[in-house]
Chain A
Amino acid sequence: MIDIEFITTYYSYFLEGAKITLMISLFGVIFGTFLGIIVCLLKISNIKILEIISSAYIEIIRGTPMLLQLYIVYYGLPMALPFELSRMTLGTIAVFLNSSAYIAEILRAGINSIDKGQMEAAKSLGMSNKLSMRYVILPQAFKNVLPALGNEFITLIKESAIVSVVGIHDIMYNSDTLRGITYKPFMPLVYAALIYFIMTFTLSKAMGKIEGSMKKSD
């Protein structure tokens, strides 16, 4: 059943693919978090126009297919920009834009979960909204949402398979390539599945460990 020769010959396809998948997901979650913070802060800014913009952004991203967003970024962004972006960059942009909307909502839930006495105490000491957020609320909110952010990373590893449709050489794309060159339509898919699973399973175990070690101030 397991074809050793196939693996030793073609393992580099999977390895390279895994690298690309990991990179897109990692950058996706990092930039997604930065953008997510901004979107979330706009949404809770109490400034009507900014709230409307950020809410619309979140609703549109969450209400349209990721495949469509990928196409729009992949074909639309190069038309709007005077310089060229690599395929990989465009794919990553699509992934982190998508992710940012979900992360913004995760963060908002995290901020809302912090007891309002924390904010009041900070204000009572003369701290501005900005200072209170930065030093008191956000660090606590972040800690609370860390598991959810880890989940988002794991989700991205799986969902980023979609970038294969615009020719980015991730695990999915490479396993398709192998199906073509080897005339084996099935086994490359099984190997791809195995690799996705190893990555996501390892990560979720690692997240559990990190969560455990962050409990000291709870």
Chain B
Amino acid sequence: MIDVINLNKKFGELNVLTDINTSIKRGEVVVIIGPSGSGKSTFLRCLNLLEQPTSGDIIFEGKSILNQKLNIENYRQKIGMVFQQFNLFNNKTVIENITLAPMKVKNLSREEAEKIAMKLLKRIGLENKKDEYPNKLSGGQKQRVAIARALAMQPEAIIFDEPTSALDPEMVSEVLELMKELAIEGMTMIVVTHEMSFAREVAKRVIFMDEGSIIEDDIPEEIFTNPKNPRTRDFLNKIL
């Protein structure tokens, strides 16, 4: 579904990503782990072009997304994104957050968009919050709404950039549960997280990144019980 070929990203002189090669298949859940500053987030942000790669290519369904002629907005509709800081639209209520893009980008009527939104709100158990502004929600609720907002566009894959890192500990599980459900339903997911239990349980593949490179890319059992690279071993020893 997504093939990453020799991807490089530099900020000025600094190499943030060096020769990243990987591919993500439809329905796959790929968890990316690694120390902070290892380029995980930058890699995710390159995948939907919030960062412009310096060189290399990203192929989505056979076509390069770096092609100048490609309509980036069309591509981004297919790749949802969930942010560490939620980034709900502060000036919109919960339901407006979810319906905005379907109405303005996909040109759905308000009725259709709200129908989809209500279904999603029911699913995340926040129907009664539909007219609240984001500032009235807890962190966990905000993140669930953010996931619903991404789902409302019916994306083909969702990118999660440390979705639980800004949450109080007691709210982490409600978000992880929802993500787990999505994984079971077959959503293609690329997740940067420090939740190793999630990686172990849900991921089909775990990628370990360090200093801007992919060090190891394997099934979770191998990474967690039998890491091949000393850096992976070192990292896992520190956090587990």
Contacts and interface: CB of A to CB of B under 8 A. Distances in A.
Contact of B76 (A115, A125, A218): A125
B135 A126 contact: no
Contacts of B146: 121
Interface string B140-174: 00000010011001000000000000000000000
Interface in A116-156: 117-118, 120-128, 131, 135-136, 139-140, 143
A125 B150 contact: yes
A182 interface: no
B77 A120 contact: no
B81 A136 contact: no
Given A216-B133, A218-B135, A127 B87 contact: no
Contacts of A126: 73-77, 101, 105, 153
A58 B35 CA distance: 46
B34 interface: no
A218 B136 CA distance: 9
Given A117-B87, A124-B50, A217 B153 contact: no
Nearest to A215: B135
Interface residues of B, number: 29
A131 B104 contact: yes
Interface string B81-94: 10101011111100
Contacts of A140: 90-91
Nearest to B96: A135
Contact of B101 (A117, A125, A139): A125
B53 interface: no
B133 A124 contact: no
Q: Determine which residue in A115, A124, A216 has the highest number of CB atoms from chain B within 10 A of its CB, and name it.
A: A124
A120 B149 CA distance: 14
A18 B143 CA distance: 53
Contacts of A125: 76-77, 80, 100-101, 105, 149-150, 153
Contacts of B89: 118, 121-122, 135-136
A131 B91 CA distance: 14
Interface of A: 115, 117-118, 120-128, 131, 135-136, 139-140, 143, 216-218
Interface of B: 48, 50, 73-77, 79-81, 83, 85, 87-92, 100-101, 104-105, 133-135, 146, 149-150, 153
Given A118-B87, A126-B76, 13 more contacts: A118-B89, A121-B81, A121-B83, A121-B87, A121-B88, A125-B153, A126-B105, A127-B73, A127-B101, A127-B105, A135-B104, A136-B100, A140-B91
Query: What 5 A-B pairs are tightest by C-beta distance, nearest first?
Result: A126-B77, A125-B101, A121-B87, A124-B81, A117-B87
